[in-house]
Structures are given as C-alpha cells and as structure tokens.
Amino acid sequence: MHRHIVSIQGGMASGKTTLARALEDAYPELHVYYENPYPIVQKRKELGLDIRTEDGFVENQRLFIQAELERFRHFPDGHIVLDRGPEDLEFYTLHYPQVHGQDWDMESRLKAELEALRECRSDQILYLRATDQLLQTRRDADQTRTRQSFAQHEPLWALEEKWYKQFPVCPIDTTAKTPEQVREAAVHQLSSIGFLRREKEI
C-alpha cells in the first residue's frame, strides 16, 4: 500500500480550506479530505464532557484521536491532501492545557493514543502564514462560519508555527497573496517534491 499525504496547516482563517478546494478542483486525481469536527463536538455534548476539566479534556481528545485513526485506516492508495490533519490534533492535545495554565500530563494520559496518532503523520506539511491582523480581518469578513473559537485559540498561535518546524514543512506567507497566488505557491512546492506533475496547468 502506498500513500503520500500532504496536510495543509495554519492558523484559523489562514486559507487552508480555500487552498484544499483549489487543489481538488485542479487535480481531480487527488484525494482531498476536509476538517469536520462537528460530529465529535456533538458527541461531546451528548456525553456531557467539560473540556475545562482534565478528565473532560482527556476524553474529548480521545474521541478526536480515535476518529482520526479511523479516518486514516480508510484512506485509499495515492496522493492525499488533508485540510488540517494528525499534527494539528497532536499539537492541540499537548498545548491547549498549557496555554490555559494547566499542567495536565497528556503524554501519560493519552500515551497509547498519541503513539498511534504519530504513526499517521503527514509526509509533507504546507503551513499557511499570515499576520494576526489579517487573520482577524478574514474572520470578520467570513459569514459562512461562526468561528466561535477564534479568540479561544489565539494564544496557541504563538506556539504553533515553532512547533511545526520539527516536521517536513513548507511555509507559505499568504499575507500579500491572493488565493490564486497561494495556490500557485503550493503547486510549485508540491511539484518540487514530486507530489504533483510540473507540467500540470491550473
């Protein structure tokens, strides 16, 4: 079985979904998967989990990790693009308690789950960067999603980009780029590693 997985990461409103859709439209041979946390959020509500508590957060993250592992098992062979992915879930699991002043030991409490999740890491990461001001402007202009957790996640952004440097990552600064220019930059990078054919025109 051969898979080549590229995940698109970055702060909220950085353009991840827009780029994933552009690649999917231009390269129908790609298998593109989009972030969809809502089934787990609904399950969390049904179970009455409070992520402000250690036990509630652990069980919430266990649900998300199990869902990600199940999704990974069903990926087909071929080239796969993820709108977010296992690295994002790992980062959030480890750092959400930290930035909220908690010393919960997620490495111990979710040891087996995190080990399994790390087996699903992407082969390459496109990390979309933008200024905080631009991300806020995009968030305010986006009427399609509520992004209720935007402010809640803001403290994580200071840690996120640094954390991703441990992976095979290609940063793309989207601050002064149109969506078309971001797409072109991504195609250039993905072509350079053989993920896309250079002669493909979009």
pLDDT of residue 136: 67
Sign of CA dihedral 85, 88, 94, 100: negative
pLDDT tens for each residue of 9-24? 998 888 999 999 999 9
pLDDT tens for each residue of 103-139? 999 999 999 999 999 999 999 999 998 877 766 676 6
Q: Is the pLDDT assigned to residue 157 strictly greater than 80?
A: no
Q: What is the mean pLDDT of residues 57-69?
A: 97
Give, rounded to a whole angstrom, the gap between the first and last alpha carbons of the chain: 29
pTM metric for this prediction: 0.86
**From CA 74, how far away is CA 59, in angstroms rounded?**
23
**From CA 35, how far away is CA 41, in angstroms rounded?**
13
**From CA 45, how far away is CA 146, in angstroms rounded?**
18
Q: What is the mean pLDDT of residues 28-48?
A: 95
What are the distances in angstroms from CA 46 to CA 40, 50, 71, 96, 144? 10, 11, 22, 22, 25
Q: What is the CATH number of domain 3-192?
A: 3.40.50.300
Q: What is the mean pLDDT of residues 170-179?
A: 92
SS3 10: strand
pLDDT of residue 131: 73
* Alpha carbon of residue 10 to chain centroid: 7
Mean pLDDT over the full length of the chain: 88
DSSP state for residue 175 in the 8-state scheme? T
SS3 78: strand
What is the residue extent of each domain of the chain?
A: 3-192
